[in-house]
Amino acid sequence: DGGITQSPKYLFRKEGQNVTLSCEQNLNHDAMYWYRQDPGQGLRLIYYSQIVNDFQKGDIAEGYSVSREKKESFPLTVTSAQKNPTAFYLCASARLAGDTGELFFGEGSRLTVL
Amino acid sequence: SQQGEEDPQALSIQEGENATMNCSYKTSINNLQWYRQNSGRGLVHLILIRSNEREKHSGRLRVTLDTSKKSSSLLITASRAADTASYFCATDGIQGAQKLVFGQGTRLTINP
């Protein structure tokens, strides 16, 4: 079955540690996105990528980094510079670069900083 | 930046009743989409309506779009307990057409 796989589902981190969230898709989609969701809130865009080896900052990129070395993979690193990293992180993909049609979402990764 | 704003923030109705949620946005758009999120899960796409469309149906869902008022509504008819979820509108912008911006959502509770 085609889809987006995020891992881990739950992650605990101590302050000062970097952590990497995995996002893999087998839909052959060009575009991939990372969103952050805080309790009772909507989604805020962190980074997005339209093609391999290229990505753009979203609205809240500070304290985060990404890479897009393969079409199917778009990992997100939450660095120690992110002041308030506890949140629910959602990865999504879209079929075509520049397409603002349907997004396909993974099941999310919940990060808690202890 | 939050482009869309949903109203109400929370809605609780009895099973079988209709549920209406509204979304307002600020800038011109190419399309507007509605998504559903069950608690602790990812979002699922429900319906997309283009800026030149005024109404669209999908099963028990009816979406309207009024570009002059920069607003949209999502109607769920004959609600079921399984419709309990959060519903989000998402808009693109003609200028920044490579990304969607989501509203804060409406939390819908269907009481049996």
Mean pLDDT value across chain B: 92
Predicted confidence (pLDDT) at residue A19 exceeds the cutoff of 70: yes
Contact B96, B14 (CB under 8 A): no
Q: Return the residue in A37, A51, A100, A105 with the most chain B beta carbons within 10 A, the one to mutate for interface testing.
A: A100
B50: which 2 tokens? 């283009």
If one compares A114 and A52, the residue with the highest pLDDT of the two is A52
Mean pLDDT value across chain A: 93
Predicted confidence (pLDDT) at residue B93 exceeds the cutoff of 80: no
Predicted confidence (pLDDT) at residue B16 exceeds the cutoff of 80: yes
Which residues are within 8 A (CB) of B93 and not within 5 positions of it... i.e. 6 or more apart? B3, B27, B28, B29, B30, B101
Residue B94 confidence (pLDDT): 60
Residue B96 confidence (pLDDT): 52
Angle formed at CA B38 by CA B35 and CA B41, multiple of 5 degrees: 95
Q: Return the residue in A35, A47, A103 with the most chain B beta carbons within 10 A, the one to mutate for interface testing.
A: A103
Residues in chain B: 112
* CA-based nearest residue in chain B for residue A31: B98
Please, which pLDDT band fits residue A98 given cuts at 50, 70 and 90? confident
